Structure 1
Amino acid sequence: MAKNIKILIVDDHQLIIEGILTALKNIDGLTTETCNNCDEAFSKIKTAVHDVPFDILFTDLSFDNVTENSTLDGGESLIKAIRNLNIDIKVGIITGHTETNRIFNVVQNLEPITYLLKDKCNTEELQFAISKMMKNEMYYSHEVHQKLLKRALVEIQMDEVAIQILKELPKHPKISNLEGVIKKDDGSLLKIRSIENKLAKLRTDLQANNNTHLVLKAIELGIID
């Protein structure tokens, strides 16, 4: 890495910060600073703009040390605050959040250039991610990338009938009770055989063992609440 790169690491657990610093210590050309809350991080980033700006922010998403006096309650709030001020900093996430729907929403709404997982991240991946970030190229860890692909595929496969079935399924103890409830696009009601066939396809598409598992998968993927 030719130029000196200034990085801010934000996490509420000191052990995590120490682990990231250890992973970065053998990478030449890095200057690192740390914070354990988002308010302090935001202040540092704003102050640095007028001196030596940070090139990269690595932040977690959830913070356990948020109080009633905190202005920013987590990494997502921090990123939004930075974006609202149009601060030029490359945003990366290092987190333990692996829920498909959480990843999907964060990527869709905040567009971080990097998304890494704490338990999988090492020096090699961090160095690779930083090099990509400095070229304005996205890098998501393999597991994150796979989850995003799966979520996108599921979204393509979902139609209004499938979503109706998934929403109604937890409300009815018997599948037969869904007859007379699920409507086609033309307003006509779906017969039980068609509902059962649709459920079988959904279980296959979402790799669910049974209907209860299917609902849990749909919730995890953010298809239903």
Structure 2
Amino acid sequence: MFKKVLIAEDKDFINFGVRSELEKIGVAEIQYVQYCDEALLKLKSAQLNNAPFDLLISDLSFDQDHNTQKITSGDALIKEVRSAFPELKIAVFSVEDKAYTIQTLFNEYKINAYVWKGREGLRELKRAIQLIEQSNRIYISPELSGHIATDNAVEITAYDIFLIECLSQGLLQGQISEKLKELGKSPSSVSAVEKRLKFLKEHFNATNPAHLVAMSKDLGLI
């Protein structure tokens, strides 16, 4: 079982529940932080002291207060952590259920588990931790399992999100092309933008750009 676990969670009552489940499965050392900056600092400090953490459990949403933070969200924290600690196992425990967010966390940041804070959330978290400790398999709550793209599924990329956000701002395809060029993003040609937007409309069965934007908002993509 994991010997040393860090919990990044700003709600005391949730932290108490998570710690209780970790104690039940024999985790020897459990530390807790309420801020993302502090979480990254603790991980780095432990590594320098040759006493690294085995697992990070993080929420995605952190309330802002008078303490100014450089890292203000769990997904931003996970991005930093994965860059600095490529082998560290990471479990997300969150109410967030947007498919794009979950796919990004698994595909880009290589998290090991995503547990939804539902009615059985704490029990699921315990099962998830036991699974990822014993194997290289991933865990995702059954309610969200459909959010993981299969081999034949279409993955919506950051580029696609950018295009849809531009549409939501009322930009035309030529203007989107110019904006892509300004930002150094590719492909940036008008024909490439037109082709991808046509594909997205067909994929979402949207009748026009406004309909595509509306559907993307409903799905939580933008």
Percent identity between the two aligned chains: 28
Partner of 1:91: 90
Q: Distance in 2 between matches of 1:140 and 1:116?
A: 6
Counterpart AA for 2:10? D
Instruction: Give the structure 1 partner of residue 143 of structure 2.
Output: 143
What is the CA distance between 1:215 and its match in structure 2? 5.5
The structure-2 alpha-carbon separation of the partners of 1:123 and 1:102, relative to structure 1 and needing over 3 Å to count, comes to closer
Q: Which residue of 2 aligns with 1:5?
A: 3
The alignment's C-alpha RMSD in Å is 4.0
CA distance in 2 between partners of 1:40 and 1:21 (Å):
18
- Report the more deviating stretch, 14-23 or 53-62: 14-23
- Secondary structure of 1:202's counterpart equals coil
TM-score (norm. length: structure 1):
0.65
Instruction: Find the aligned partners of 1:131 and 1:60 in 2 and give their Cα distance.
Output: 19
User: Deviation digits for residues 16-61 of structure 1, max 9, x if unmatched?
Assistant: 1112123333222442111011111111111111232110000011
Using a 3 Å threshold, how does the CA distance of structure 1 residues 103 and 216 change in structure 2: closer, same or farther? Answer: farther
Shift of 1:116: 0.7
Residues paired across the two proteins, number: 189
Q: Kindly name which structure, 1 or 2, has the bigger radius of gyration based on alpha carbons.
A: 1
Q: Of 189, 194, 205, which aligns to 1:202?
A: 205
Determine if contact 1:99/1:220 at 8 Å carries over to the other structure. no
Structure 2, unpaired ranges of 5+:
157-162, 172-191, 195-200
Q: Is the 8 A contact 1:10 1:41 kept in 2?
A: yes
Stretches of structure 1 that go unaligned for 5 or more consecutive residues are: 157-162, 172-184, 188-197, 204-211
Aligned partners of 1:61 and 1:75 also within 8 Å:
yes
